[in-house]
């Protein structure tokens, strides 16, 4: 991490959480005072409005987990970026591998969603990552480079983009790449961002995601070009999420 990139610790609750989970959220918000990192929880759509109202005035931000490219219209079951913003979200995760797999989302649709996020004034967190087969074939850096090239539209800046590197084989498995491997891929992402966006790339935050836990967070967060974490399972427990946020040096 560098002084020009404030660390971001984001929790992705995925399809978890009922209204009673508000007590967990309040524990997180109450435990953040004095921490240097920015922090965010991305609950399911159903909880965004209530959570945003609950954490107003605290350091904790609320984000969405996906949005439709269009502002409104005949898209049953979908949510627009404007709706997320209206509910109190300030950011949105886009292109998560679970969306890419469950809903066959490719780079072109992710790119359209990033434009929608910008249109609505949301900060997109664009996820990229390789499969185990691609990792074993030595293609990890090439795969994420291609995904960043094709998923991120022209016009990205340090203020309007976050990238999250999430090796698919590390998500929810308890396995993580070595810190050398993480540094290599984050370096490749920084490189393609630099090719496309020049000096802005030095300020764009690149998060690591995939089995981040309290006991491995410090090492991962101290790795070159790692500017924070996108946390899944461990973000569901306030104590674990706070421990990860405190691991930021
Ligand atoms: O968005 C979060 C990631 O998919 C990581 O999930 P995990 O921490 O449960 O491995």
Residue 74 alpha carbon to ligand 1 centre in Å: 31
Counts of helices then strands in the chain (DSSP H, E) = 10, 8
Residue 73 alpha carbon to ligand 1 centre in Å: 31
By alpha-carbon position, which residue is closest to atom 7 of ligand 1?
232
Catalytic residue among 38, 68, 82, 96: 96
Average pLDDT over residues 182-197: 98
Average pLDDT over residues 208-233: 98
d(CA 213, CA 243): 8
pLDDT at 2 over 80: no
What residues have CB less than 8 Å from 227, skipping those under 6 apart?
1, 5, 7, 8, 205, 206, 207
C-alpha 77 chain-centroid distance: 23
- Assembly ipTM: 0.99
Residue 213 alpha carbon to ligand 1 centre in Å: 10
d(CA 247, CA 132): 28
Ligand 1 cavity residues, CB under 6 Å: 12, 96, 166, 171-172, 209-212, 230-234
Pocket test for ligand 1, best of 209, 215, 229 (most atoms within 8 A of CB): 209
75 is catalytic: no
pLDDT at 106 over 90: yes
Reported confidence tier of residue 1, pLDDT bands at 50, 70, 90: very low
What residues have CB less than 8 Å from 34, skipping those under 6 apart?
none
Computed over every residue of the chain, the mean pLDDT equals 97
Share of the chain above pLDDT 70, in %: 98
pLDDT at 150 over 50: yes
Q: Are 93 and 12 in contact (CB under 8 A)?
A: yes
Pairing assessment for the beta strands 60-64 and 162-165 based on DSSP bridges: unpaired
Each residue's pLDDT tens digit, 64-102: 999 999 999 999 999 999 999 999 999 999 999 999 999
Share of the chain above pLDDT 90, in %: 97
Q: What is the pLDDT of residue 4?
A: 80
Nearest to 55 by CA among 36, 42, 37, 44: 42
Which domains are seen in the chain, by residue range? 8-246 (3.20.20.70)
Each residue's pLDDT tens digit, 15-62: 999 999 999 999 999 999 889 999 999 999 999 999 999 999 999 999
């Amino acid at each position: 991490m560098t002084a020009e990139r404030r660390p971001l610790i984001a929790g992705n609750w995925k399809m978890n959480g009922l209204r009673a989970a508000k007590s967990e959220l309040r524990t997180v918000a109450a435990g953040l005072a004095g921490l240097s990192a920015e922090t965010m929880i991305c609950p399911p759509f159903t909880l965004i409005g209530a959570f945003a109202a609950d954490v107003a005035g605290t350091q904790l931000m609320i984000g969405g987990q996906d949005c439709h490219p269009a502002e409104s219209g005949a898209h049953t079951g979908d949510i627009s970026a404007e709706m997320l913003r209206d509910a109190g979200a300030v950011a949105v995760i886009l292109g998560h591998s679970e969306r890419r797999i469950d809903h066959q989302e490719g780079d072109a649709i992710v790119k359209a969603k990033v434009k929608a996020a910008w249109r609505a004034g949301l900060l997109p967190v664009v996820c990229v990552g390789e499969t185990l087969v691609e990792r074993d074939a030595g293609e990890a850096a090439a795969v994420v480079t291609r995904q960043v090239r094709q998923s991120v539209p022209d016009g990205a800046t340090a203020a309007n983009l976050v990238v999250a590197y999430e090796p698919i084989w590390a998500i929810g498995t308890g396995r993580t790449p070595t810190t050398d491997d993480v540094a290599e891929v984050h370096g490749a992402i920084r490189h393609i961002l630099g090719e496309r966006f020049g000096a802005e790339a030095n300020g764009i935050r690149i998060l690591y995601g995939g089995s981040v836990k309290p006991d491995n967070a410090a090492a991962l967060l101290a790795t070159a070009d790692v500017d924070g974490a996108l946390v899944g399972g461990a973000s569901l427990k306030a104590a674990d999420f706070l421990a990860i946020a405190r691991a930021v040096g």
